[in-house]
Amino acid sequence: MKKPWPHSPLLFTLAAICFSVWGCRTPHQRTAAKPCSVSESQTQNSAKTGSGALIATDISGSFKGFVLPNSTRLFTLHDELDRSVRNAIATSEASPAIQRCYIGTGMDCQTNISTQDFDKPSTYSARDSRLDLFFAAPKENNTATNKTVDPIDPFQVAVLITDGMEASAANSNSAEPCLAGADPHCMAYLMKQRAEKGYGIWAVLLLMPFKGTHYAERPLDDSQWQRIQQHVSALGQDPFFPGVKFTVSRQGSSTPFTSYQFEGSKPVLVLVVSRDVQAGRAIANEFSEAVKRERVVQPTNGVYTIELAPLSVSTRKIEDVRFAKSAPVKDLSLISHRKEKGFFNLTAQCDRGGSASFDVITSESGGPNVIPEGVRAQYVLSRSESGGLPEDNLKSEGLGNDLVLRTHCNLINPGQFKTCLAFQAKLSLDENDKAFWQALSSENMFEAPERLYGLKEMILDVLRFSTQKPRPTDAVLFTLERK
């Protein structure tokens, strides 16, 4: 009978040497030989969904100040918007129908208002502007067959024209969005819901001549009035309003007061929503150029356009993966490296202790590049699946055109390890960037009438959502054979 192996400190010492020197690490999951690839192009929905277009106009009383004597600016705005919409969807509909709705305390799609009537003060008489009704998704009623109608879904394109959102309720503790009104938080929430369902969203901000009442939506005192006067007097040096004259006045001296007279430029916001990304982009771009050409805006170039969803980056492809000249190669040889459809296939072989670095050579191969102000795109390599080499044995470093793969063969058992790395654009927000949507945003409703209340918060919230998902454009299948 054989004696059992004696338990001694020598045994544990040998085991430790095995793990640290001879690479006796527990085997890692080895991925099967399956394709490592990404789609040749980013998903862009350009198929026709719905028919015709919806154009909804805010008719709240605050819009009256844009109606200037003998001016046809608002008619021109709507006329050019109609033309841009029809041109964008003409490829799928020869004579697209446009449904007009008007938003006040409700959403009225029955009243007939001509485009000429948009230059009449009487058109803007609503006490409120329930902008949330334009975006709100339908909710089912008690019976399965009786559902409310989605205001956007039947149409290929939907457009909202407004002069601003409501002020956030100061004491609102509601966790449910929009119960405090159509404030920036509510609007961002509704737009993100639409983006999740595949809608593209575009915002066009127009700076337009204004002379009329500005509503502060809160009681103001003399100290706040002094702040307003100081702010308006400094607008002559504002780079966004060259040549624009601003004045502000107040009737009487009693306090508190909730409105005052303002003359200068104020923003109008146009939101375009569509599942047809190509159509949405075409409308935003053509309309922006048209209002500048027709001198609707003040100053001359006072129009700003931004895509909030889906965003896209230029496609970059991997041309080669080769030994880096800046690092030595140790006990590692290249077996094969070739470009295949959808990925770059690289196979290397190494002895224990082998190591090497590889330069990843990429080039741009076209495709739409829609990265708005305040957003950065950085190309990186990252693992697209589990398994393969341990992360310590294969690392990717660098950004853009300076990508490097570093590998070593320490602490792995003999065998073959396959690792798929996605080459992708990673979008991130640069909140220090002086984008127009930050510079032309106001933190409150009373102090800066020439800016749009909550614009920064609304856009930032939607862009955070749109930039979360990486955009893969190529891939590397890295196979390492440990002898």
8-state DSSP, 114: -
d(CA 449, CA 1): 97
Q: H or E stretch including 235? A: none
Q: pLDDT of 410-441, one tens digit each?
A: 999 999 999 999 999 999 998 777 899 999 99
d(CA 321, CA 335): 13
d(CA 312, CA 297): 29
Instruction: Identify the band that residue 174 occupies on the pLDDT scale cut at 50, 70 and 90.
Output: low
Between 468 and 179, name the one with better pLDDT: 468
Locate 97 and state its tokens: 């129908």
Structure confidence at residue 148 (pLDDT): 67
| Over residues 343-358, mean pLDDT | 96
**To which residue do tokens 């935003």 refer?**
284
d(CA 416, CA 137): 51
Q: pLDDT of 10-33, one tens digit each?
A: 444 434 433 343 344 434 444 434
- Closest by Cα among 278, 357, 366, 352 to 316: 366
Structure confidence at residue 431 (pLDDT): 73
Q: Which residues contact 39 (CB under 8 A, 6 or more apart)?
A: 472
Cis upstream peptide for 449 (omega within 30°): no
Q: pLDDT of 44-55, one tens digit each?
A: 555 557 899 999
Instruction: Identify the band that residue 318 occupies on the pLDDT scale cut at 50, 70 and 90.
Output: very high
**To which residue do tokens 């956007």 refer?**
152
Between 12 and 454, name the one with better pLDDT: 454
Q: Where do runs of H (alpha helix) occur along 57-175?
A: 73-89, 132-135
| Over residues 246-261, mean pLDDT | 94
Locate 106 and state its tokens: 């409700």
- Least confident segment among 5-9, 65-69, 243-247, 454-458: 5-9
Structure confidence at residue 2 (pLDDT): 39
Structure confidence at residue 144 (pLDDT): 53
d(CA 225, CA 203): 31
E-only strand ranges, 176-286: 200-220, 247-249, 257-274
Instruction: Identify the band that residue 122 occupies on the pLDDT scale cut at 50, 70 and 90.
Output: very high
